[in-house]
């Protein structure tokens, strides 16, 4: 099942994608894709619906983030062995955890702002794990029972702010528009092995990232369990699990984004995003 939210920012309605690729309006069934709706029981109720009984949404509405009510936008750094190698970093002994500001969250195809003082804005295609039920200090064996599904995330990053301005990585990760999520939440039953998904990112048609979740250092079960020992996870929370090689920082010489470009990125079975870069203020 592919669940989504459509409409103007702040006015999104819940929907699902039917087998023909049409958006069906779920707002008469559930008020939002949040809370208990994301639990196993909530998802079972949605899966039992006949999509043809739901109103078709005409045209091509804007898509928002596929879940509402997020409390924690958690990211994992240097979680692909080949990405760590391209940055010259050692393989982490434990997951590197940082938080992305909720203010960065946006729809999958919304414009990405290049801040006026940014010189090193970069792209990162990532597998996002979406939490369905509260997870606190859960075991790896139990971790997947707390997962609602998966989505594509672009962990847009300003490398100078991240690495050259002192302190933590968060400064380079939390700018407005730096967290495109979607196009939809794909429920975990449609993703039999999250550790075997092809993924890519292109800028102006040039493919920079062409990787696979196979090279993740810490897998989904480990990450959900690990993070839950430090941060209680709630329905709608996201763990963005790291990026494969091919980021701008890793190019020789490095390549960074500027206003007027187009990013296209996607993950096998989870859909694609397209963002234009615009001058921020």
> Tens digit of pLDDT per residue, the chain (281 long)?
999 999 999 999 999 999 999 999 999 999 999 999 999 999 999 999 999 999 999 999 999 999 999 999 999 998 998 877 777 778 899 999 999 999 999 999 999 999 999 999 999 999 999 999 999 999 999 999 999 999 999 999 999 999 888 878 889 899 999 999 999 999 999 999 999 999 999 999 999 999 999 999 999 999 999 999 999 999 999 999 999 999 999 999 999 999 999 999 999 999 999 999 999 98
Six-digit token string for 229: 């020992």
Q: Which of 200, 177, 2 is nearest to 106 (CA)?
A: 177
| Distance between CA atoms of residues 23 and 15, nearest Å | 6
Can you list the alpha helix ranges (DSSP code H) found in the chain? 40-47, 81-87, 140-143, 159-163, 220-228
43-53 burial, b for 16+ CB within 10 Å, e for fewer?
beebeeeebee
Two tokens, residue 11:
């006015």
Q: Which residues sit opposite 273 in a β-bridge?
A: 265
Q: What class has domain 73-279? A: alpha beta
The token duo for 231 is 């941060």
Sequence-separated (6 or more) residues with CB below 8 Å from residue 22:
56, 57
Q: Residue 217 has which token pair? A: 């250092």
Quickly count: other Cβ atoms within 10 Å of residue 76's Cβ. Answer: 26
Query: Which ranges in the chain are annotated with CATH 3.90.850.10?
Result: 73-279
* Average pLDDT of the chain to the nearest whole number: 96
Q: 0.95 exceeded by the pTM?
A: yes
């Amino acid at each position: 099942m592919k669940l989504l939210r459509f409409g103007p920012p702040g006015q999104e309605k819940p929907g699902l994608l039917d087998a023909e690729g049409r958006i069906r309006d779920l707002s008469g069934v559930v008020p939002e894709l949040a809370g208990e709706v994301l639990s196993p029981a909530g998802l079972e109720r949605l899966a039992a619906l006949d999509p043809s009984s739901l109103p078709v949404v005409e045209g091509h509405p804007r898509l928002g983030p596929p879940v509402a009510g997020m409390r924690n936008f958690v990211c994992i750094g240097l979680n692909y062995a080949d990405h760590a190698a391209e940055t010259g970093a050692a393989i982490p002994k434990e997951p590197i955890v940082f938080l992305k500001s909720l203010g960065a969250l946006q729809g999958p195809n919304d414009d990405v702002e290049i801040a006026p003082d940014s010189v090193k804005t970069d792209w990162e295609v990532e597998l996002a794990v979406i939490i369905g039920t509260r997870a606190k200090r859960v075991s790896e064996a139990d971790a997947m029972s707390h997962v609602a599904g998966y989505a594509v995330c672009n962990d847009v990053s300003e490398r100078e702010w991240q690495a050259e301005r002192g302190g933590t990585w968060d400064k380079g990760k939390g700018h407005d528009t730096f967290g495109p999520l979607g196009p939809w939440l794909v429920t975990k039953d449609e993703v039999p092995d999250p550790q075997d998904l092809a993924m890519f990112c292109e800028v102006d048609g040039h493919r920079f990232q062409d990787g696979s979740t196979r090279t993740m250092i810490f897998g989904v079960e480990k990450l959900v369990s690990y993070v839950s020992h430090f941060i209680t996870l709630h329905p709608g929370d996201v763990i963005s699990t790291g990026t494969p090689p091919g980021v701008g920082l890793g190019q020789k010489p490095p390549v960074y984004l500027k206003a007027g470009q187009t990013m296209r990125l996607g993950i096998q079975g989870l859909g694609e995003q397209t963002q234009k870069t615009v001058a921020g203020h």
